[in-house]
Amino acid sequence: MRFRHRVTTAALLGAVVLPLAVACGDGQAGPDTLVVYSGRHEGLVGGLLDRLEQHTGMPVEVRYGGSAEMAAQILEEGDGTSADLFFSQDAGALGALSEQGRLEPLPQDVLGLVPQQYRADDGTWVATSARARVVAYDPDQVSEADLPRSVDDVVDPKWRGKVGFAPTNASWQAFVTGLRVLRGDEAARQWLNDFAANEPQRYKNNLAVLDAVDSGQVAMGLINHYYWYERIAEQGENRVNAKLHFVGGDDPLALVNVAGVGVLSGNDSDEAARKAVRFLLSQEAQRYFADETAEYPVIEGVSSSKHDLPPLTEIQSPDLDLSRLSTLQQTLRMLQEAGLS
């Protein structure tokens, strides 16, 4: 049996900020409306979610906010939540809701569409797309022989002041949570202290990290893979100086996280919610993720026609129960203690 970390409503609510109230609104949707709480940004998935009404046969209302914020909102609302479906940017927020009994099991024919490592052990959520943690690097400063082979290489003193990261970004926080789960808190705390002592450069988001690598401000940056592929698609590979390195080797720096979806327990639109999940796992939606967001599809037989991604099966990501990424509050405290928040 896998050990499950409990996440209280109060702990998750610590992540809620004022913009959530604006994102969710104060009104209650009607009983004949499918309400989606989306932790994914409207600019990324709005075009896809606009198609849900056609595929569910029901009016759809989408409320946007951060994934942790939306999960906290659902827990706070309890049985009175308007949400029928939760579309999360990461597995951790889905795991937190599942632990609190807020997600209902999905049908087996839906679960069977997705590889076992990309769905909840209890069947309460499935991945809709995947993203790999990678190292962007400046080839003028980093030779192939010097590329990091593990997370420990990143804290080598030779990279002092030459590594960029985005401390407030959810993908960085999920990576640190994965490091904690894989190596234990004490080893993760030591790595964070070593990383902080190496004077990494802080940026507001992953795009800014990639910009810094591309311009030579830093030698390396810790990002998700799709930022680089989107940049290549926009500008052409010959106009992008930064290169991409997949660490692999079951290392924490090779973490593959997922966006995913779950149906809320006791929702008012159960059949439509399940249809929405099936749509997000359809070839149409999976091609959208592959082409429009440069993420990895999670069903067989779909690949990108725009981005030359290495196969997901070749990344050698660590064996990790992604639901355990729900322990975000412990991670945030550890980051604060290390001066990396």
In terms of domains, do 249 and 138 share one? yes
Q: How confident is the model at residue 57 (pLDDT cuts 50, 70, 90)?
A: very high
Nearest CA to 259 out of 94, 134, 136, 111 is that of 94
- Residue 170, domain member (yes or no): yes
Please state, rounded to an integer, the average pLDDT across all residues of the chain: 89
In terms of domains, do 214 and 261 share one? no
- Residue 202, domain member (yes or no): yes
Structure confidence by residue, pLDDT tens digits, 148-157 = 999 999 999 9
- Residue 323, domain member (yes or no): no
In terms of domains, do 126 and 20 share one? yes
In terms of domains, do 185 and 75 share one? no
Structure confidence by residue, pLDDT tens digits, 220-246 = 999 999 999 999 999 999 999 999 999
pLDDT recorded at residue 61: 96
Residue 245 assigned to a binding site:
no
Question: Which residue's entry shows tokens 């290390």?
Answer: 338
Amino acid residing at 60: V
Across the strands, what pairs with 296? Answer: 130
In terms of domains, do 44 and 115 share one? yes
In terms of domains, do 173 and 261 share one? no
- pLDDT at position 261 over 50: yes
- Residue 224, domain member (yes or no): yes
The region of weakest confidence among 4-13, 183-192, 225-234 is 4-13
In terms of domains, do 184 and 155 share one? yes
The SS3 call for residue 34 is strand
In terms of domains, do 231 and 290 share one? no
- Residue 328, domain member (yes or no): no
- Residue 249, domain member (yes or no): yes
In terms of domains, do 120 and 139 share one? no
Q: Which two tokens stand for residue 285?
A: 């939606």
Residue 5 assigned to a binding site:
no
CATH number of 227's domain: 3.40.190.10
Query: Could you tell me the residue range of the domain that residue 305 belongs to?
Result: 9-130+257-309
In terms of domains, do 33 and 123 share one? yes
- Residue 324, domain member (yes or no): no
In terms of domains, do 239 and 274 share one? no
- How many structural domains does the chain have? 2
Contacts 24+ apart (CB under 8 A), 215-219: 215/241, 216/138, 216/140, 216/141, 216/241, 217/164, 218/138, 218/162, 218/163, 218/164, 219/137, 219/138, 219/141, 219/142, 219/159, 219/162, 219/163
In terms of domains, do 55 and 165 share one? no
- Residue 322, domain member (yes or no): no
| Average confidence (pLDDT) over 208-226 | 97
The region of weakest confidence among 9-18, 265-274, 320-329 is 9-18
